[in-house]
Amino acid sequence: MKPILIGKRHGRAIIVNRQLQIANAFEEMISDVSPKIHSVIRRNYDRYGYNLSLKINTEKRSNLTYLLIKHLEWLFLLFLYLCCEKPEKKIKNQYV
């Protein structure tokens, strides 16, 4: 996906695309609905996410990861549209 804007995370500039905005809006929605579930998800992502990303080092693994994340993006978007009053506003507010 093409970049939409430059955002900031932990004081550093990052490239933001729609997929990242959707994932972060979904995470925010989970946090709003159930902080405890969000805490468990965030803790596991923080613990295992980086190490897992190091294993995505071949074209085949990269393509598989893209497909998995694309399906997650659609699932996140579906939940945002079903559960949020103004899902596009929530998505757009990420990294603003």
Instruction: Write down the H helix ranges in the chain.
Output: 18-33, 35-54, 59-83, 87-92
Which helix (H) or strand (E) segment is 14 a member of?
strand 12-16
Question: CA-to-CA distance for 18 and 9, rounded, in angstroms?
Answer: 16
Question: CA-to-CA distance for 13 and 7, rounded, in angstroms?
Answer: 6
The pTM of this model reads 0.85
CB neighbourhood size of 55 (10 A): 9
pLDDT score, position 71: 97
Model confidence pLDDT, tens digit, residues 35-87: 999 999 999 999 999 999 999 999 999 999 999 999 999 999 999 999 999 99
